[in-house]
Amino acid sequence: MKNVIVIGAGGHSAEIDDYFQYAKNANSKFDMQIAGFIDDNPSSYQQYEFTAPYLGGIIDHTVQPDFFYIIGIANLKYRKPIIDNLLRHGAKFTSFIHPHVYISPSAKIGNGLVVAPGVNIGPKVFVDDFTLINSRSSIGHDSKIGKYNFICPNVCFSGFTEVGDENLFGINSATIPNIKIGSRNKIAAGMTIDKNVGDDEVVFYRFKEKIIAIPKV
């Protein structure tokens, strides 16, 4: 049995806890269990009904060599620094793939991922380490997704999409085929990306027109 410590004790970690319990009930051979949660804010732990104990803060946590770690913090500002610091101290990370996920046999994924229910990962896709793929998202064939990305629910990458590192994709955002997106960008909810995006950009729009359909009498 692989014992896992979840980093964070907020809403995202509560979802991960639910995912683990579902996987355990769905498959008697599921070989991971959550040993506990670490968070610098103890009050966060009190807001949810976690199935494993609070183990203390992140900043003063001593890496446990016999345990594996999963990042349960959604905020991109903190995800990478916390992961990198724990890696420097010898932490071993693992991935969680929900039972209700389709991954093409020709796709390849890295380490430290969380892949939520309803996700589709198509042929010849590559997803690098520590990326979160949230519920019902789809990654089209031949796409390449870098490290430390946070992909919100219902995001859709069309085929041949290329994404760098540390990007945030808001809920219901999407790309058309062959789009290239750099690193550290924030893509607003509902955006359809039809042009390449560089680095360190915020991509959003405001509706300038309002169309009102008037039924014929």
pLDDT classification of 204: cutoffs 50, 70, 90: confident
Token duo for residue 120: 């589709």
- Backbone phi, psi, residue 197, to 5°: -120, 140
Q: Classify 96 as helix, strand or coil.
A: strand
Mean pLDDT of the chain: 94
Question: What letter would DSSP give residue 195?
Answer: S
Looking at residue 215, its pLDDT comes to 66
Q: Classify 46 as helix, strand or coil.
A: helix
> What are the residues whose beta carbons fall under 8 Å from the beta carbon of 40, sequence distance 6 or more?
57, 58, 59
Task: Residue count of the chain, please give it.
Answer: 217
Whether the CB-CB separation of 149 and 113 falls below 8 Å is answered with no
pLDDT per position as a tens digit, 38-72: 999 999 999 999 999 999 999 999 999 999 999 99
pLDDT classification of 132: cutoffs 50, 70, 90: very high
Which position has the token pair 């893509």? 187
pLDDT classification of 134: cutoffs 50, 70, 90: very high
Rg of the chain, C-alpha, whole Å = 19
**Whole-angstrom Cα distance, residue 132 to residue 114?**
5
Whether the CB-CB separation of 52 and 36 falls below 8 Å is answered with yes
| In the predicted structure, residue 31 carries a pLDDT above the cut 80 | yes
**Whole-angstrom Cα distance, residue 82 to residue 62?**
13
**Identity of the amino acid at 189:** A
pLDDT per position as a tens digit, 77-120: 999 999 999 999 999 999 999 999 999 999 999 999 999 999 99
Looking at residue 28, its pLDDT comes to 85
**CA–centroid distance for 132 within its chain:** 1
**Identity of the amino acid at 93:** F
Looking at residue 205, its pLDDT comes to 73
Mean pLDDT of 123-129: 98
Q: Classify 69 as helix, strand or coil.
A: strand
pLDDT per position as a tens digit, 157-201: 999 999 999 999 999 999 999 999 999 999 999 999 999 999 999
